[in-house]
Chains A and B, each alone.
Chain A
């Protein structure tokens, strides 16, 4: 085990896969010579050369479109979109082209590609560089959607995404880049579509994703001191969705809370609430409660941004008020 930051784990995951498979190529804005604006891809150009690690112009449609063309003709590209907010300028490529191509042609084309992006709040960047858009991707049939919360998951799930034969949208959380954690040595590959139970409790089940996972854990520790025992599930992947773990962990406590950074309406928790309501209704001891960013764009100032996205305090207070 080595201790890596979340950002170092990105480069480690890409390097592991590029080392293993020469079909893996990597492109994006400022990713090669500069090592990425978040310094997530330092050293890859030096290690793998300019043919496989390429800087692009500011052309998100061309980046993602080129990844699609390369994937359908025998490569396994990783494309970086610098901020997930920029998905909006290449959403045609992602939602209309990449997601649908295989289905429309009845399986003639295969698109083994990964689109990595920096998602989420915490950097005071304002409403166009801080969004959590994982629910956009989740809404489109044909995309797999992954959002890791730890360095080990970054490396393992990124490797799994590269090896997956389908398009995977890989949401890194920019608020987690500096966090550290143990990452297994040697080749490390995880499995898409598997949630992780990080903490087992008896009174409430908290389901969280990416940067909301450490907050859910902290909230669970605080609640423990107040006599409320909470399970914390790190979802890790929205598509495929590990409903087996979700349903099982909800049934054990009878209460379900989602902690979502995406804005309220049609956030991923709504889908989970609907599944649990349909399939585990009689195991519930109370209403399913969603803790989300309110339905507003993200404001920039410290106090505003911090109090818009779910906080540890809000999670604790909501569960204390409703789990009794």
Chain B
């Protein structure tokens, strides 16, 4: 496709979004090593182009549904960095005040309708949000991100069929990062492409996109979102990518065959995108200015989160019910 179908400000936004995700997640990793980020965390290092490409193509009132590997998607919709880091650190300033943690990032004002840590669970939920948008005639779409491993769980198939039968405005975006946790996805899946090769079963087009190319993702996202908004129904997109970190903080990723990481690192989405922008005549100084502005923002968010106190203990019994409390008796 012609390289001028994406305007310059969009390209700069795509670049910035990827850098934000990368630098914030690297910081999260450092903070983990300092024992300031607790629990587990699942990073998207190497997969940033998927989150950036989709979020940039979305309308502010569209819905995002993420998995436990959801920092990237939450940030890409504009959720504040200090809220994300604060949540990872269990601080009062966290997006959910410390009640959810890394795997459940939610920021409703930014359309991030939750991060779901049970594999596959959020696909039906995203379909439901799309159904709601369809019924209300709001023109909103839901974009649901998940990994390659999700394509082998029942909820994936239930949701795909349901969304196709009801022609719902939902985009199912599979990030195929090659590994289902520690196991190569190829070795546990009956088809080569866990998402795309199942599309035909639901009457959907087989779509595979280079998930390390933010422009390619953005184009596919734009196309599928337009289709959904126009009443054309759901899409299933498989973005081929690679996570250059382990599955979670506990995983040194020793299962990788020799040379694989190096090969994919050559295709680092941010390095590729930066080179493309320079080729397209962007000023290197402008890109450096983005890099340093984002670094400053990450530093500020880090300081902000560190300065934030732990949550007040009263919140333990708050917000189970809509009345703000958790009472189960009179």
Contact = CB atoms under 8 A, between A and B. Distances in A.
Given A74-B132, A97-B125, A243-B330, 12 more contacts: A51-B135, A59-B158, A62-B159, A63-B124, A68-B128, A69-B128, A93-B121, A101-B114, A102-B322, A104-B104, A107-B322, A243-B329
A179 interface: no
Contact of A97 (B108, B121, B129, B161): B121
Contacts of A63: 124
Interface string B287-330: 00000000000000000000000000001001111111011111
B154 interface: yes
Contacts of A20: none
A105 B96 contact: yes
Interface string A79-120: 000000000000011001100011111111110100000000
A228 interface: no
Given A57-B165, A66-B124, A97-B116, A240 B108 contact: no
A73 B133 contact: yes
A62 B113 contact: no
B118 interface: yes
A240 to B, nearest CB: 6
A61 B158 contact: yes
Contact of B328 (A56, A93, A239): A239
Closest 10 CB pairs of A and B: A69-B128, A65-B124, A66-B128, A165-B322, A107-B319, A105-B106, A69-B129, A59-B158, A62-B158, A73-B132
A240 B154 CA distance: 33
B124 A240 contact: no
A105 B161 contact: no
Contacts of B121: 61, 65, 92-93, 96-97
Interface residues of A, number: 50
Contacts of B114: 72, 101, 104-105, 109
A61 B122 CA distance: 10
A244 interface: yes
B31 to A, nearest CB: 21
B57 to A, nearest CB: 20
Given A104-B104, A105-B99, A109-B114, A62 B124 contact: yes
B113 to A, nearest CB: 6
B320 A66 contact: no
A101 B114 CA distance: 8
6 contacts: A65-B122, A65-B124, A67-B128, A102-B321, A103-B99, A242-B329
Interface in B86-128: 95-97, 99-100, 104, 106-108, 113-114, 116, 118, 121-128
Given A96-B118, A193-B330, A69 B124 contact: yes
Interface string A235-255: 000011111100000000000
Given A61-B158, A69-B127, A69-B130, A141 B329 contact: no
B160 to A, nearest CB: 9
B82 to A, nearest CB: 16
A68 B165 CA distance: 19
B182 interface: no
A92 B118 contact: yes
A233 interface: no
Contacts of A52: 135
